[in-house]
Amino acid sequence: MNKFVYVLFFLGASCMHKNIPLTAPQPVKKAFTHSKHGDNRQDDYYWLRERENPDVIKYLQSENAYTESVMAPAKKIEEKIFGELKSRVKEDESSAPVKDGNYYYSARYELGQQYPLHVRRLGSATGPEEILLNIPALAQGHSFYQSTGPRMSMDQNKMAYSVDTVGRRFFTIYFKDLKTNTMLPDKIENVSGNMAWANDNETVFYSQQDPNTLRVHKIFRYSLKTHKAELIYEEKDETFSCYVYKSLSDKFIYIGSFSTLSSEIRYIDADRPLNAATLFQKREKEVKYMVTDHVDRFYITTNKDAKNFKLMTAELTNTAASAWKELVPHRKDTYLMDVTVFKNYLVLEERFNGITQLQIMDLQGKNPYLIPFADQSYLASVGDNREFDTDTLRYDYESMRLPSSVYDFNMKTHQQVLVKRDEVPNYDENLYRTERVFLTVRDGTKVPVSLIMKKDLKLDGSAPMLVYGYGSYGANMDPWFNSEIFSLVDRGFVYAKAHIRGGSEMGREWYDQGRTVNKKNTFYDFIDCTMELVNLKYADPQRIYAMGGSAGGLLMGAVMNMRPDLYKGMVAQVPFVDVITTMLDDSIPLTTSEYDEWGNPNEKTAYDYIKSYSPYDNVKDARYPNVLVTTGLHDSQVQYWEPAKWVPRLREHNKGDSVILLKTDLEAGHGGASGRFDQLKETATEYAFILMLDQPAAL
């Protein structure tokens, strides 16, 4: 019996629908019921999680074919957009060389290549070049190839690097002797890619994930002398994950255990890598702390009795929290994100009023200096710094209008030098303007929104607008530069990035107001910001589009159910849409570690709240907007079956003539394609979908 039946899918008679097939793929329904807390949920597409089932692959392929046929009228504009996107890429781009000892490290692309070369030069940034990793050559024969790049030993004579050729973020670590230019026989498979060298040039610490849940829960010590790995730490708490890192001073190796709301650190003398790890401070509920060091003390950022974090110090001989000393106190209006410790300076990465700032001070927390920035909306962050004993801070700066720039700032004289600014061909920053507005949402909260548009755009309510959002995990969607968006902006679009609650743009409280039992604030903020932008004449209410990925795809799904009439079209990238089912299944990757983000639905109160917004469970009879949904078969973060079953359910309940499409990358994972030009093709498809809806006459 044929596993697939095809149903009539009425698309309407508007010009954009001419020559579009009238049938959409329909996976067979297989009755399945989820039962919890006396509540039954019907899930007829649950079987689509059978990754090895040939019928699942056939269904995904049929959806791809359908999407291609529906978007056939937009093929020329898609190709044109891809050409535009590629034209704004400097094909032989290179990164700013970064000094580490006697070498200067960088990455560079060659014309036409999808992947970079990792290189170094001896003595100066213009010295003789040594190719460390030829990624274009290594990637040959692979449809997907991702590398962490080189990780150098202390003497810089050995190199480790890790590679994923599937897209599920399982890496293999390889080693090379750079003095003899030969690969070592050592190979460590199925690891996370996270690693750190000890100071003996022979020992590497690395982390490994569970093969099923993907939770990173083990730290190993590997010896290039004995060719053996030893488990030195295992995180038993299923709500925690772990990782390893090394301080800039090279004094200690750290093992960090973390959950959404708590953390715990252990440390090992990097000169004595065979020592057992020492516990820094026992974990406490809802207390996070992070540790780095100087020669004679530790520096700790923590939110213990400090919502927005404060900076503390501890002696090397006593790391108990009771012995910590306050260096930079908690500030209600400033969110302390991180600290970088140099030999003579501290650099604090902070947020004030939602905008990043860099503050420099001495080791005693005195003589603070805030690096001044002229723009009202921008992103400034500590860059690639590899030397501890230096007066130079490398930092990165960009805005929605200005491409990323790398500066070297002298922390002693306060003078700075522009090292490199990304070259963006066929782009003129003077043609655009940016704005930053605070919009009042339904509970009175003022939400910041960053916007970019053509400089001469009139705010008369006639422009199309794309609104982007995320709002989860405390992640910040800063106003960074994105050369791709100008293919829409040049066609008259306003691009709005809504800094909604659930991120940390306005501090830690901003995050807390958008998680667990406050999660709906994220969705309300996005809806209300969109409506207020329309009221302020930034856009035509009939020409509004929305985009979000992963947890931002959850945002798209929830908003779509709450206000199916508000947006003409949506792009939901790798969307997390079956929240209740996923969070009840602890065999699915990353579930247990996210109870503090979404709530634990094994508890009825959390179950009821999650179910009240979970996109898959709240699909209803409505006139849904046009939707393009993307996913990856090998996605390790959001399993492909969530969007795969969401799409047919949306179609079943859609009472309008909108198109609802699913496009699955059968080779890639959560991050999409690995090659830089292949990634642009994905963007071109998304933009062509939007333009097919907004400007059909241009097709």
Q: Which residues are catalytic?
A: 550, 635, 670
Q: Is the dihedral of CA 241, 259, 507, 523 positive or negative?
A: positive
Q: Which residue has the tokens 């916007």?
A: 451
Dihedral sign (CA 565, 566, 568, 574): negative
Residue 297's Cβ-side half-sphere holds a number of Cα atoms within 13 Å equal to: 19
DSSP at 689: H
Q: How does strand 297-302 pair with strand 289-293?
A: antiparallel
Contact by Cβ (8 Å): 224, 154: no
Q: How far apart are CA 36 and CA 604, in angstroms?
A: 9
- Closest alpha carbon to 574 in 552, 549, 591: 549
Per residue, what are the HEC states of 154-219?
Answer: CCCCEEEEEEECCCCCCEEEEEEECCCCEEEEEEEEEECCCEEECCCCCEEEEEEECCCCCCEEEE
The owner of tokens 């699909």 is 619
Q: Which residue do the tokens 């001495």 mark?
A: 362
Rounded distance, CA 389 to CA 407, Å? 18
Q: Which two tokens stand for residue 220?
A: 């190993």
Q: Which of 239, 228, 231 is nearest to 188 (CA)?
A: 228
CA distance 505 to 351: 7
Q: Which two tokens mark 400?
A: 């929605």
Q: What are phi and psi of 592, to 5 degrees?
A: -65, -30
Find residue 267's DSSP bridge partners. Answer: 254, 278
Question: CA nearest 74: which of 149, 18, 158, 3?
Answer: 18
- Coil vs helix vs strand at 13: coil
**C-alpha 626: how far from its chain's center?**
25
Phi, psi of 682 (to 5 degrees): -65, -45
Per-residue tokens: 181: 């230019």
Burial class (CB in 10 A: 0-12, 13-18, 19+), 240: buried
**415/216 Cα distance (integer angstroms):** 42
Taking only Cα atoms into account, the Rg of the chain, rounded to an integer number of angstroms, comes to: 26
- State whether the Cα torsion 391-379-505-254 is positive or negative: negative
